[in-house]
């Protein structure tokens, strides 16, 4: 390990004329270990650096020392002629500066040409947001009228048998828990267990959970959350072969008699519906990024204070509040939905897929697009659109810009200022109230 002029150990002793492949490998290591950037940023910067070195090689240069300001400007000019957006050019300019500075520190470049490179100003487009009425319509939509897709691989008799078996297994576990624990609503797992259950009861003044049964504990089945915390793979679904789509699973204990209607509207206790509703409520209530939502664990939720512990960009942790509708949706999902999807190896993730793993960003995006499509007149947007909407509605409601910045996790206040464009009505109202000649 060799210390350089900036006091950082940069790995092995630098070679005077490294290959392009070596440079890229060392650059990736620098981004990952020394700068601790996110995987998305590392992938983007690596791709840009590879494209830059490819351009250098296409110009007939096999040595890194040939990289200068003329080559950088020529490379960016080709990107502009190819129709790249100004935002893309700005990012690639930033990557070029990081890359040339890294190579200069390593001694591979005698000077840093990136210092002479300008930055293309990316246009600041106004984000598309939902109106408050549209946001309310999206979040207030119930499961009525939405149908569960039928599963052609299983007959209704097989589904009925599997559902009945699931109900029997859950009931037996609950009966055993009743005999072994004098506190039926206590959490049988220690807090350190990654598959811990959700305890929806508020704490008493002593800091302990109250023993009073909560009204939301597994409605309709008599099985509270503690019984489901120990849920293992149930029925035949735990061993089902994986497929590219989420297969419909038994969602809640069915009635003892009568076949399942696979084309019936989704019930209010359907785990997928409960999960989707909770995700939408949190996205709108907190304005968090989709990656931050997927990274939430059960322990990140503080029900006493109605706050979330969110790990944002640059591994920066922040505390974000949420309201009662989001809390009710979380309670419903964690008590009546999440336990049914716990499998062997399920970790502490707050939101799960039907196979018991942590939910991925693609699934969240599909859920948001599908829910918005059900509201007439609502613009099509992804989870980031709900982030824009939350910030805009906060400002419209009177929140100050600094508080919104803290809630969203923006490093710069200038990033948050873009949301002030929709607060023109509030600005006009303040003007009429304050200006003497309004």
In DSSP notation, 313-327 reads GGG-EEEEE--HHHH
Q: Hey, which bits of 315-405 come out as E strands?
A: 317-321
Contact of 246 with 359, CB cutoff 8 Å: no
User: How does pLDDT run along the chain (438 residues), one tens digit per residue?
Assistant: 444 444 444 444 555 678 999 999 999 999 999 998 888 889 999 999 999 999 999 999 989 999 999 999 999 999 999 999 888 899 999 999 999 999 999 999 999 999 999 877 767 777 888 988 999 999 987 544 454 443 433 444 444 444 445 444 444 443 443 343 333 323 333 333 444 455 554 444 434 433 333 333 333 333 333 333 333 333 333 333 333 344 444 443 333 333 333 333 444 568 999 999 999 999 999 999 999 999 999 999 999 999 999 998 878 899 999 999 999 999 999 999 999 999 988 999 999 999 999 999 999 999 999 999 999 889 999 999 999 999 999 988 888 889 999 999 998 888 888 887 656 655 677 778 888 887
Q: Tell me the C-alpha distance between 310 and 4, whole Å.
A: 36
pLDDT reported for residue 93: 93
* Structural domains of the chain, ranges and CATH numbers in brackets: 20-116 (1.10.150.130), 142-151+170-374 (1.10.443)
Task: Exactly one of 336, 387, 388, 393 is catalytic; name it.
Answer: 387
Q: Is 289 a catalytic residue?
A: yes
What pLDDT, on a 0 to 100 scale, did the predictor assign at position 397?
A: 86
**Within 13 A of 272's CA, how many CA atoms are on the CB side?**
22
- Active-site option among 45, 185, 284, 419: 419
pLDDT (0 to 100) of residue 16: 65
188: Cβ–Cβ under 8 A, 6 or more apart, which residues?
A: 177, 181, 197, 226, 229, 230
pLDDT of residue 135: 92
pLDDT of residue 305: 93
Candidates 116, 342, 325; CA nearest to 230 is: 342
Q: Which residues contact 386 (CB under 8 A, 6 or more apart)?
A: 130, 280, 283, 284, 287, 368
**Phi/psi of residue 319, nearest 5 degrees:** -105, 125
pLDDT of residue 363: 95
d(CA 222, CA 60): 75
**Catalytic annotation on 10?**
no
Rounded distance, CA 306 to CA 314, Å? 24
Class of residue 141 by CB neighbours under 10 A (exposed 0-12, middle 13-18, buried 19+)? middle
Half-sphere exposure of 144 (CA within 13 A, CB side): 3
Phi-psi region of 335 (alpha: psi -120 to 50; beta: other; left: phi over 0): alpha
Bridge partners for 311 per DSSP? 317
Give catalytic status of residue 419 as yes or no: yes
Q: Looking at 73, 313, 355, 365, which residue is catalytic?
A: 313
Judge contact between 355 and 237, C-beta under 8 A: no
List 30, 55, 201, 410, catalytic entry:
410
Active-site residue 393, yes or no?
Answer: no
Kind of pairing between the strands at 301-302 and 317-321: unpaired
Q: Indicate which residue of 289, 371, 388, 393 is catalytic.
A: 289
313 in active site: yes
pLDDT at 124: 73
From 384, 388, 402, 435, active-site residue: 384
């Amino acid at each position: 390990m060799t210390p350089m002029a900036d006091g950082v150990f940069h790995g092995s002793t630098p070679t005077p004329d490294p290959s392009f492949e070596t440079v890229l490998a060392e650059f990736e290591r620098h981004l990952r270990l020394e700068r601790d950037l996110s995987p998305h940023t590392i992938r983007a910067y690596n791709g840009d650096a590879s494209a830059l070195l490819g351009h250098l090689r296409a110009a007939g240069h096999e040595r890194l020392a040939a990289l200068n300001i003329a080559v950088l400007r020529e490379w960016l000019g080709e990107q502009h002629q190819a129709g790249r957006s100004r935002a893309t050019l700005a990012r690639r300019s930033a990557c070029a500066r990081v890359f040339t500075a890294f190579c200069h520190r390593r001694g591979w470049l005698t000077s840093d040409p990136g210092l002479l490179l300008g930055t293309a100003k990316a246009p600041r487009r106004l984000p598309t947001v939902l109106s408050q009425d549209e946001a309310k319509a999206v979040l207030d939509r119930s499961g009525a009228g939405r149908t569960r897709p039928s599963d052609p691989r299983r007959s209704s008799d097989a589904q009925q048998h599997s559902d009945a078996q699931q109900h029997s297994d859950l009931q037996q576990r609950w009966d055993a828990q009743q005999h072994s624990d004098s506190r039926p609503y206590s959490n049988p797992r220690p807090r350190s267990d990654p598959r811990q259950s959700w305890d929806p009861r508020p704490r008493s003044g002593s800091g302990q959970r109250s023993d009073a049964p909560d009204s939301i504990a597994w409605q309709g089945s008599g099985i509270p959350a503690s019984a489901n915390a120990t849920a293992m793979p149930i029925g035949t679904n735990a061993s089902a072969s994986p497929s590219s789509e989420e297969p419909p699973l038994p969602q809640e204990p069915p009635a003892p008699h009568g076949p399942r209607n696979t084309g019936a509207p989704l019930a209010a206790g359907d785990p997928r519906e409960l999960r989707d509703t909770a995700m939408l409520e949190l996205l709108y209530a907190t304005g968090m990024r989709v990656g931050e939502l997927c990274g939430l664990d059960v322990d990140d939720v503080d029900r006493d204070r109605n706050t979330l512990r969110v790990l944002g960009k640059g591994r920066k942790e922040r505390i974000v509040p949420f309201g009662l509708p989001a809390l009710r949706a979380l309670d419903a999902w964690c008590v009546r939905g999440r336990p049914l999807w716990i499998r062997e190896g399920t970790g502490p993730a707050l939101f799960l897929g039907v196979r018991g793993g942590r939910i991925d960003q693609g699934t969240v995006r599909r859920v948001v697009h599908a829910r918005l499509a059900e509201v007439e007149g609502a613009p099509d947007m992804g989870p980031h659109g709900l982030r824009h909407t939350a910030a805009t509605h906060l400002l419209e409601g009177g929140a100050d810009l600094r508080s919104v910045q803290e809630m969203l996790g923006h490093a710069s206040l200038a990033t948050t200022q873009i949301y002030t464009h929709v607060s023109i009505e509030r600005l006009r109202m303040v003007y009429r109230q304050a200006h003497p000649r309004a």
